[in-house]
Structure 1
Amino acid sequence: MVRYNWPLYAGGALAAAGGWALARRLPRPAARLARAGAVAAGWLLACSTAATWYVYDLSGLHSYTWLDDLLPDGPGRHLVVSAGLDETSRPVAARHPRAAQLIADIYDPTLMTEGSIRRARCLVPPVAGTVAARPAELPAPTATLDTVLVVFAAHELRRATDRAALFAETARVLRPGGSLVLVEHLRDCANTAVYGPGACHFLPRGTWLGHAAEAGLRPVAERRIAVMVTAFAFRRPGP
């Protein structure tokens, strides 16, 4: 994550160092403010870097052992939906080699203009066989999938209409009783404390629950991973 977002981390380091250096040239009241800003920037940089390291490198998030709690019977025939960066399909396929897997990438460079996504795509190219898709058009027939996995992808759809379309399309491709597994950082106290203003890029828990309800998917499980990540399981009602 640091590699994908290095300009933000570099900017934080420069702000901290620059504020501290500038304080030496300012009168006392302004110098205090500059030092306070430098300390705040440095603290936020250190906290966010440590948290990112813990979540993505130390916590076992990418081992997908936690998926067993949400899908005790395994993912079955499943679709992995990414938005420019797919770090899900390979580990899930490795854990469930007999489960048929489809991969769809909903990345749209005209809408997802953040440099972090472009850098991520360069560092981690799409898996062979990945199908380019849109939120309102996933590459699967109606009611044919046991599971749809959307891991750190849905929040990249900044327009509510696109997110609603993705949830509705997910409901279409799931068989009755099938599950949507959604994994996201939330805009909550834990993420705000660590990422500061950067947590505004995440969405509140109620937003995801609302999209699921609109699509006719009901929540059946929720698990916190590494304190700052939440995994939801939503189910399409059976006949």
Structure 2
Amino acid sequence: MEINRKKFQGVLNILSFNRHFYIYGLSVLILITLSYVVFQWSTTLYWLIVAAFGYGLLMPLIVSAYVYDFSGYYKFEWINTLNFSDSKSKQIININAGFDETSFILKNHFPISNLKVFDFYHAEQHTEPAIVRARKVSLVYPNTQQIKSGLIPLKDNSIDAIFLLSAAHEIRSHKEKVMFLKECHRVCKPDGTVIMVEHLRDFPNFLAFSIGFTHFFSKTTWKKAYKNAGFSTFSENKFTPFMSVFSSKP
């Protein structure tokens, strides 16, 4: 199945799934404006507040448009730097957190490899409103299997590549992260690879998402989780200043 992404689909997804933040933000800005009109407080302070709100509401959309709509992320050309070849003998899994925009694209990129898709979304644990909304419009790859983050139903040392594409950060606790990554380590072949793409809790993403950058985790946190899970390597390639591609081997 060929996936043709609509123009600005990435930024429209962000706006749709996180619309509660924009509703709250605009509501507060309206109240501030009414207060300014009624009480006629400092014009300079008012415009500083408006500028701050404008930045906080618009910058995430601008960066999201850059990352998801103009950087070529969904063309998956960045995978070529990982030297992963397509082969009938290759076993690939893609694990998502309830919203899957990548499995059909992965299959198009590796048409003869064997691809299985898993979804670790759990309604009681993963309660972000954005995920709930995203699931309603997500395409479901055929035979996608619902799993728990602590159990991947595959044999030991059976998988050549595991893709975790903007999904693993939905596992919020460090303990659960390590448990999940231990499962990835278990099913991965000795020469296999776990490929994770994530925003980080770092300065560029702070500039992009302000307080929203706390939804992501730092490189140090991820490195510790992979080490605790038993992985021997943890390398990073930057895909735009706001997105990192991590590659790890058992």
The normalised TM-score by structure 2 is: 0.88
1:77 aligns with 2:91: yes
Partner of 1:7: 20
Counting only pairs closer than 5 Å after superposition, residues 1-239 of structure 1 correspond to structure 2 as: 1-29=14-42, 32-74=44-86, 76-219=90-233, 221-236=235-250
Aligned equivalents of 2:28 and 2:82: distance in 1? 42
Gaps of 5+ in 1: none
CA contact (8 A) 2:94 2:163 kept: yes
Aligned equivalents of 2:124 and 2:214: distance in 1? 21
Aligned equivalents of 2:224 and 2:23: distance in 1? 36
Gaps of 5+ in 2: 1-13
What's the CA shift string for 1:67-96, capped at 9, x where partnerless?
111244358311101001111211110011
Percent identity of equivalent pairs: 25
CA drift at 1:104: 0.5
What's the CA shift string for 1:14-59, capped at 9, x where partnerless?
3334423422223434x54443222201112111111111111111
CA drift at 1:61: 0.9
CA contact (8 A) 1:23 1:35 kept: no
| Alpha-carbon spacing, 1:10–1:71, altered in 2? closer, same or farther (3 Å) | farther
Q: Give me the CA root mean square deviation.
A: 1.7
Aligned equivalents of 1:111 and 1:169: distance in 2? 18
What's the CA shift string for 1:117-175, capped at 9, x where partnerless?
01100011432210011111112111000011011111101111111111100000001
- Opposite residue 70 of structure 2, the aligned amino acid is L
Aligned equivalents of 2:170 and 2:139: distance in 1? 18
CA contact (8 A) 2:226 2:234 kept: no
Aligned equivalents of 1:121 and 1:71: distance in 2? 32
Moved over 6 A (4+): none
Aligned equivalents of 1:19 and 1:35: distance in 2? 11
